[in-house]
Chains A and B, each alone.
Chain A
Amino acid sequence: MDAIFLQILNGLDKGGAYALIALGLTLVFGTLGVVNFAHGALFMLGAFCSVSFYKLLTLSKQVKDESITFFDAFKEQPYLEIWFGDYGTTIIDLAVPLSILFAIPVMLLIGLIMERGLIRHFYKRSHAEQILVTFGLAIVLQEVIKSMFGANPIPMPAPEIVSGSAPIGVLFGMGESVVYPWWRLIYLLFSGIVIAGVFAFLNMTTYGMVVRAGMMDRETVGLLGIDVERRFTVVFGLAAVVTGLAGVMYAPILPPDYHMGMDFLVLSFVVVVVGGMGSLGGAVAAGFLLGILQSFASMNEVKSIIPGIDQVIIYLVAVVILLVRPRGLLGRKGVMED
């Protein structure tokens, strides 16, 4: 019972991450119609926003270890700690949540530059060319990050106060052994807020409604004298920010490395397509569905019945759903079907 409860939590947590990562992709891919293979790179850049911010905060005074003569070995003390004492320590401790503030403008800028400089010229080109150009871009971004930060993952600690586990078992009357990491709970909450925010923006603001209308029927909206192009730029920027934030908050769970984007690329495409092209709700639903099923498939009890099921569950579910529902969970007719 406890085990099942914990797996549901794992599933929700995974699902939150998948949904958040897929949300940006479905904005660009499902609605602007751009096959964006650089989406994973945006996720990775987000994670590295937090890394850079952390490095910035921990710029350190280096005290050389004199016992080592062959090379410079030193102990580091961040200037923030030297200048502000405990305040400095607290600020460094809060690096990851604070880097959200840093990541929003940076990711927005990256998104805008990407759209204006490159993606915009490919709206009308073939999907094949979109794949090639965005894949090339992803590799370039990746290699730039690699040359700056190396290939090794970089540990990003969550704030001390939430680095441990929450005794949620006590809360639900299930005993003390049922615990769950605070940071994962925060991630779940965070993804919920971001997803709700994006939905609210698209559904409740006039601006968002025009964007949605533009996605449905670009020409008509254009005929009404509305500058659809500019709104698409905004959508792309929004997608970049959402994806980047997914990356920032994921850094304490998965120490970032330059290749992490590629690892999530396929997954995010699967989530979006299973959810159905052109449907934000579909992507979110698919994210949670795949997350939960993946968690259950990894249980020892399940694995002992079907060996290796945890290796393929995501793809298996994708195949079944796409065969039963031709356009995924909530896909619209005619989007990316040719």
Chain B
Amino acid sequence: MSEKKNSAGWSRRDIMKAAGAFSAAGAMPMFFSRGAWAENNFRNNPGKAASIKLGFNVPQTGAYADEGADELRAFKLAVKHLNGEGDGGLMNTMKPLSLKGNGVLGKKVEYVTGDTQTKSDAARASAKRMIEKDGVIMFSGGSSSGVAIAVQSLAQEMGVVFMAGLTHSNDTTGKDKRRYGFRHFFNAKMSGSALGPVLKKEMGTDRSAYHLTADYTWGWTQEESIKETTEGLGWKTVKTVKTPVGAGDFSQYITPILNSGADTLILNHYGKDMINSLTQAVQFGLRDKQVNGKTFEIIVPLYSRLMAQGAGKNLKGILGTTNWNWALKDKGSQAFVKSFGSEYGFPPSQAAHTCYVQTLLYANACEMAGTFYPPEVIKQLEGFKFDGMGNGATEYRAEDHQCFKDVLVVRGNENPTSQFDLLEIVQEVPRAQVEYDAKIFGGELGPYKV
């Protein structure tokens, strides 16, 4: 029995030792008391240190582990290039470029990693470890909007910049935007705007859509955005049905579609949910159906290559949008595919691309600001216009920290020429078409100094 053992088994020496340690704890200074936030006094100021640390917080376990692994590869590559190793990647094509290939502001870049487990609590714990223990001055990563929003607000509380990885919800740069959070990835609203014209061209203006929506914030914002677009085209919305996350078997939600009179199914699902619902919808013969004299169509507004792999041939011919694809022919994309491909032996995913770009953008902003002091770095990123990173001319909008750039409308490839050739680019929708007023989603960024 524990208490008995302890009471009997402690020698005088043990107790003396414990007492000594105890008094040492009493003398501990209070770290992290919130003091003046100033140019030379901010959290994790590298000061005169020879190196800086960045934190890469990605899902290493759970459903998105593969995506996380790809993000991590991109981060490592970015660190290499920043330190002047490797072939330089996008540093050869980025314009304007302040980076010199000698680290950031002359300091070597190091990194720490962590596992978000795609859970808000674990992600925040991991980010806190990076900030409190490892002393990172910026952290990045993520593959779900819930996690991104959770760690973004942590970034604001702690005064450490967060460069979001894969997050697609309108809320990340909408009602939950933060001064210390930045998103390069596109969002549901932009997906909707980009899909609109293509849907009109391919499916006409007289369609009835049925939505299956993952029952949480990302799903809702996507449903809302896509609905707005399709109704703008003149489509009817037959029904929108919420499905529990991780339902696995969606049959009970699919059978009601058969006789609903709808001729289009829009799947607002991501990851495993999307792979499952799409696989099962195809098995129910939806794609062989003729309704209202039209061929039944399925639309998956948000695509990723890993999802395409999981869904296999069920994805052939299905329309959706994506942030970036390795088959793009511009110089920036080619440069990135080349250095990533020769390093790892396969092409990068869109998650890898956005994470890589985010790291470079942050480093470049520090270089421009001439300091790591977050308010100055943030001011450099806000409204920053750049090119040569894939997706054409891009701007980090100051009002909501959302990047605006071209969006890809893609289709599941009917005749892939290789195992990576899963998505065929239908159209590169120009940036002007996906821009929207920053005010529509509300929210506020908060202060520069925390």
Contact = CB atoms under 8 A, between A and B. Distances in A.
B249 A254 contact: yes
Contacts of A178: 258-259
Interface string A47-64: 000000000000000000
A73 B416 CA distance: 11
Contacts of A311: 215, 244
B259 A3 contact: yes
B205 interface: no
A184 B310 contact: no
Q: Interface extent on B, as a size class?
A: 35 or more
Contacts of B292: none
B312 A71 contact: no
Interface of B: 62-66, 69, 215, 239, 241, 244, 246, 248-249, 251-253, 255-256, 258-259, 272, 275-276, 279-280, 283-285, 288, 306, 309-314, 337-338, 340-342, 344-347, 416-421
A181 B287 CA distance: 13
9 contacts: A70-B340, A153-B275, A154-B310, A155-B313, A158-B283, A178-B258, A181-B285, A254-B248, A311-B215
A165 B285 contact: yes
A86 interface: no
Contacts of B314: 155
Given A10-B251, A14-B251, A257 B63 contact: yes
Nearest to B306: A152
A163 interface: yes
A255 B337 contact: no
A7 interface: yes
A295 B346 contact: no
A179 B285 contact: yes
A165 B251 CA distance: 13
Contacts of B420: 73
Across the A-B interface, the 4 shortest Cβ-Cβ residue pairs? A155-B312, A70-B341, A165-B285, A151-B65
Nearest to A256: B310
Nearest to A9: B255
B259 A177 contact: yes
A183 B206 CA distance: 33
Contacts of A155: 275, 279, 309-314
B423 to A, nearest CB: 14
Contacts of B284: 165, 179-181
Interface of A: 2-3, 6-7, 9-11, 13-14, 17, 65, 67-68, 70-76, 146, 150-155, 157-158, 163-165, 177-181, 183-184, 252-255, 257, 259, 263-264, 294-295, 298-300, 303, 310-311
Given A7-B255, A70-B337, A263-B248, A253 B346 contact: no
Contacts of A303: 241
A70 B279 contact: no
Contacts of A74: 418-419
A3 B259 CA distance: 8
A97 to B, nearest CB: 16
Contacts of A154: 310
A310 B345 CA distance: 45
A35 to B, nearest CB: 23
Contacts of B246: 263
